[in-house]
Amino acid sequence: MIVVVTGVAGSGKTTVGAMLAAAMQCEYLEGDGLHPHQNVDKMSRGIPLTDADRAPWLAAIRVRILEASERGSDLVVSCSALKCTYRRMLARGVPIHWVYLKASPMLIRARLGARTNHFMSVSMLDSQFDALEEPDDAIVVNADEPPMAIAERVLLRLRDTP
């Protein structure tokens, strides 16, 4: 089973993704760790990424998804995958269970404002919501719930999925 946890920056993808992977006893991939240095530098300066900037990052994540699929291994990935085209590219030929952590701009503004040592700042918030195309084929969970409750809810839904 390949599970991709999506949502805007600050929605809890990393926390929930790691919890899901631990509960599923499988590998976890933090998608942000595959961003090229240029992307991190750009975002650190408050400059939104373009589709061209995101292309090598998404390609690197897709490679890891394909490797897990070919091995028959379970994998949980956290990746914003804000646009439908990004999700289609990641899923091409691979069954993916999408989890969308839905969050209000107010919640995300508070979370990003409290973060330290992360390249995504509050100044990037509008660009995240501007790019967001909410998935219609995902397990949707409100990001304002406690992470453990979100993970438990997602696990229940995944168990009911063929």
Model confidence pLDDT, tens digit, residues 96-117: 999 999 998 888 777 676 655 5
Residue 79 has what pLDDT? 94
Summarize the confidence of residues 12-39 as an average pLDDT.
94
Specify the residue for token string 């289609």.
88
pLDDT category at 162 given cuts 50, 70, 90 is low
- Residues whose CB falls within 8 Å of the CB of residue 87, separated by 6 or more in sequence, listed in order: 4, 6, 81, 96, 98, 135
C-alpha to C-alpha distance for 132 and 116, rounded to whole angstroms: 24
| Residue 34 DSSP one-character state | G
Residue 78 has what pLDDT? 97
Q: Which domains does the chain have, with CATH numbers?
A: 2-159 (3.40.50.300)
pTM value? 0.89
